[in-house]
Amino acid sequence: MSPFWSYILAAWTLSAIVLGVQLWRALAQRRKADRAEQKQ
């Protein structure tokens, strides 16, 4: 296995986490807005 794989996995994992957290937060905000709308 190439010695670069630890760097490759670090870069890809970091990217996936940062993008995933943004998406998760946007979905959570929408769920919250949905709940507020349903309460009305």
Partner 1 sequence: MSPQRLRRASAQLLAATAIAAALGALWSLQFSPPDWRQGDAVRIMYVHVPGAWMSLICWTLMAALGAKLLWRCPPSHRAATAAAFTTTAAAGFWFTALTLATGSIWGRAIWGLWWAWDARLTAELILLFLYGAILALLSSFASEWRGVRAAAILALFGLLHLPVIKFSVEWWISLHQGSSVFAPADSRLPPDFLAPLAVMTLVYLLFLATLITLRVETALIKETTTTPPPEQDE
Binding residues (CB under 8 A) for partner 1: these are: 2, 4-5, 7-8, 10-12, 14-15, 18-19, 22-23, 26-27, 29-30, 33-34, 36-37, 40
DSSP string for the chain: --TTHHHHHHHHHHHHHHHHHHHHHHHHHHHHHHHHHHH-
CB of 1: closest distance to partner 1 in angstroms? 9
CB of 27: closest distance to partner 1 in angstroms? 7
Query: What amino acid is encoded at 17 in this protein?
Result: I
CB of 28: closest distance to partner 1 in angstroms? 10
Tokens 């937060």, residue located: 25
